[in-house]
């Protein structure tokens, strides 16, 4: 088009922190234990980290790995690495040393940031890291031995606090690579684009009803699909992140009460441990929206959660689609059902997110399977909420994208469409 960028700006989550550093400058962006960062402080620390990375030699498109917990530096990385022009690789903290080594070498990380508690995972593989030029220690809690390398806060000081100009020129450029668990074969690096991340943020804000008053508790690991893009989405809407180093049910109920948490995301297994904990309140003081995925929540779990006054949103997705892709969109006529029948419907999936595109359930020949409650088919998806491909593995990408659709590997049957509502029962293969 003519006139370049006047009528068309790049879709990237970087817009959000740039905007909210001004709009919500004095508002708390991040709370972590006794520490608080306002949006302008958050933006400043992002500028420090991004400029430090450039100063330390990061070039456009190079990978920066973070191997740490849900601490503020992980949030900073989600904006600073792309702002510096790099690609963020957040690594699962539960992996064994050899798995971490594989990922670091496969993505070709140039920088590695490590929480000192995880140094013992890195130390044995340090000599086999082929591309890492610099290791930076994140000392979040004391008592662990550092790896030979800079300290995070000292590293930031190489940089400066002023806004940096963006390096991104195409919204389809990669913003992050997230590795699959690799239950079959080696883990694969799933590439997210700036455009996809941006649109996912707006989708998550709308589907989980985030507002600038939202207080989001980090029960979901940020290394998991960039925290289902909530790292960017909560920042986008100007909400408050409550960071959480490790999962502990008693601590979570305390934080919910203390900070007036309005939203959290977690797998059903995590919710079960929360709801059955002795500190679980009879009734919540403030509305709480819980978004859950990973496996269908049982109707019993849904009933229990609803009973304490929380709202449950049941979603389905996987790493290749930025986390959640479909949602069990609540239908107002379910209000007339008893709680058990309602919970049964809420345990099913689902319809595509507002920001998603096509969803089909197909047989091996790409024919839609009948909605008869018994014929199994594979879930296939396409559009802006689908990864751009697997890093350095065009063969796997082509296989996953065969027939012009992303193949999830999840097989299920479609329920007979009651009143034509495409409610689906899911069984992971």
- Provide, rounded to whole angstroms, the least separation between the CB of residue 385 and its own copies: 9
Which residue lies nearer to its own copies by CB, 135 or 361? 361
- Provide, rounded to whole angstroms, the least separation between the CB of residue 358 and its own copies: 8
- Does 404 sit near its own copies (CB under 8 A)? yes
What is the rounded radius of gyration, in angstroms, for the C-alpha atoms of the chain?
A: 21
Which residue lies nearer to its own copies by CB, 93 or 355? 355
Strand ranges for 149-270 from DSSP E = 150-151, 174-179, 189-193, 215-217, 240-242, 263-265
- Does 180 sit near its own copies (CB under 8 A)? no
Half-sphere exposure of 320 (CA within 13 A, CB side): 22
| H-helix or E-strand spanning residue 428 | none
Q: How many residues sit in the footprint of its own copies (CB under 8 A)?
A: 64
Residues in the chain: 429
- Provide, rounded to whole angstroms, the least separation between the CB of residue 72 and its own copies: 21
How far is the CA of 66 from the CAs of 88, 121, 171, 202, 330, in angstroms? 7, 13, 23, 25, 37
Which residue lies nearer to its own copies by CB, 24 or 218? 24
Q: What angle do CA 217, 65, 47 make, to 5 degrees?
A: 70
306-335 positions binding its own copies, by CB under 8 A: 329-333
237-256 positions binding its own copies, by CB under 8 A: 237-238
Q: Which of 318, 352, 361, 413 binds its own copies (CB under 8 A)?
A: 352
- For residues 200 and 235, is the Cβ–Cβ distance under 8 A? no
> How would DSSP label each residue in 31-100?
EETTEEEEHHHHHHHHHHHHHHHHHTT--TT-EEEEE--BSHHHHHHHHHHHHHT-EEEEPPTT--HHHH
> How would DSSP label each residue in 182-214?
-SSSS--EEEEEHHHHHHHHHHHHHHTT--TT-
Candidate segments 68-76, 115-123, 189-197, 222-230, binder of its own copies by CB under 8 A: 189-197
Give the integer Cα–Cα distance in Å for 84 and 50: 5
Give the integer Cα–Cα distance in Å for 298 and 326: 18
- Provide, rounded to whole angstroms, the least separation between the CB of residue 205 and its own copies: 6
Q: Which of 36, 57, 61, 213 binds its own copies (CB under 8 A)?
A: 213
Q: What angle do CA 359, 360, 363 make, to 5 degrees?
A: 155
Residue 227, sorted as left (phi over 0), alpha (psi -120 to 50) or beta, turns out to be: left
270-309 positions binding its own copies, by CB under 8 A: none
- Does 387 sit near its own copies (CB under 8 A)? yes
- Does 205 sit near its own copies (CB under 8 A)? yes
State the binding string over 2-41 for its own copies (x if CB under 8 A, else -): xxxxxxxx-x---xx--x--xxxxxx------------x-
Q: Which of 196, 227, 324, 377 binds its own copies (CB under 8 A)?
A: 196
Q: Which of 146, 337, 351, 362 binds its own copies (CB under 8 A)?
A: 351
Q: Which of 29, 236, 270, 413 binds its own copies (CB under 8 A)?
A: 236
- Does 120 sit near its own copies (CB under 8 A)? no
| H-helix or E-strand spanning residue 153 | helix 152-156
Pairing assessment for the beta strands 263-265 and 35-38 based on DSSP bridges:
unpaired
- Provide, rounded to whole angstroms, the least separation between the CB of residue 87 and its own copies: 16
- Does 389 sit near its own copies (CB under 8 A)? yes
- Does 159 sit near its own copies (CB under 8 A)? no
Candidate segments 136-144, 160-168, 299-307, 351-359, binder of its own copies by CB under 8 A: 351-359
Q: 5 by DSSP, 3-state: which?
A: helix
Q: Point out which residues bind its own copies (CB under 8 A).
A: 1-9, 11, 15-16, 19, 22-27, 40, 172, 193, 195-196, 199, 202, 205-206, 209, 211-213, 236-238, 329-333, 351-352, 354-355, 357-358, 382-384, 386-389, 394, 397-398, 401, 404-406, 419-422
């Amino acid at each position: 088009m003519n006139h370049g960028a006047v009528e068309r700006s790049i879709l990237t989550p970087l817009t959000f922190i740039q905007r909210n550093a001004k709009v919500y400058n004095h508002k708390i962006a991040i709370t972590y234990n006794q520490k608080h960062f306002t949006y302008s402080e958050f933006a400043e620390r992002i500028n420090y980290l991004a400029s430090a990375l450039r100063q330390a030699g990061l070039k456009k498109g190079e990978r920066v790995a973070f191997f740490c917990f849900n601490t503020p530096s992980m949030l900073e990385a989600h904006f600073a690495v792309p702002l510096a022009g790099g690609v963020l690789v957040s690594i699962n903290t539960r992996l064994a040393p050899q798995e971490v080594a594989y990922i670091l070498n496969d993505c070709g990380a140039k920088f590695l940031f490590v929480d000192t508690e995880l140094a013992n995972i890195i130390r044995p593989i340090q000599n086999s890291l082929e591309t890492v030029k610099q290791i930076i220690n994140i000392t979040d809690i004391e008592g662990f031995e550092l790896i030979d390398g800079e300290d995070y806060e000292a590293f930031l000081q190489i940089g400066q606090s002023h806004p940096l100009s963006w390096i991104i020129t195409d919204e389809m450029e990669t913003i992050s690579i997230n590795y699959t668990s690799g239950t079959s074969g080696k883990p694969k690096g799933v590439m997210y684009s700036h455009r996809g991340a941006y649109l996912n943020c707006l989708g998550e804000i709308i589907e989980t009803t985030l507002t600038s008053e939202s207080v989001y508790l980090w029960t979901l690991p940020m290394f998991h699909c960039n925290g289902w893009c909530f790292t960017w989405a909560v920042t986008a809407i100007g909400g408050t992140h409550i960071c959480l180093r490790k999962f502990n049910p008693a601590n979570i109920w305390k934080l919910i009460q203390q900070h007036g948490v309005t939203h959290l995301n977690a797998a059903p297994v995590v919710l079960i441990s929360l709801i059955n904990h002795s500190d679980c309140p009879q009734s919540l003081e403030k509305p709480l929206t819980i978004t859950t995925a990973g496996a269908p929540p049982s109707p019993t779990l849904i009933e229990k959660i609803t009973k304490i006054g929380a709202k449950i949103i049941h979603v389905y997705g996987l790493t290749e689609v930025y986390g959640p892709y479909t949602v069990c969109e609540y239908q107002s006529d379910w209000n007339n059902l008893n709680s058990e029948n309602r919970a049964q419907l809420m345990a099913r999936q689902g319809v595509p997110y507002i920001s998603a595109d096509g969803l089909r359930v197909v047989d091996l020949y790409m024919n839609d399977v009948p909605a008869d409650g018994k014929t199994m088919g594979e879930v296939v998806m396409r559009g802006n909420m689908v990864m751009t491909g697997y890093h350095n593995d065009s063969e796997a990408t082509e296989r996953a994208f065969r027939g012009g659709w992303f193949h999830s590997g999840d097989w299920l049957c479609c329920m007979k469409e009651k009143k034509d509502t495409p409610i689906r029962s899911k069984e992971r293969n």
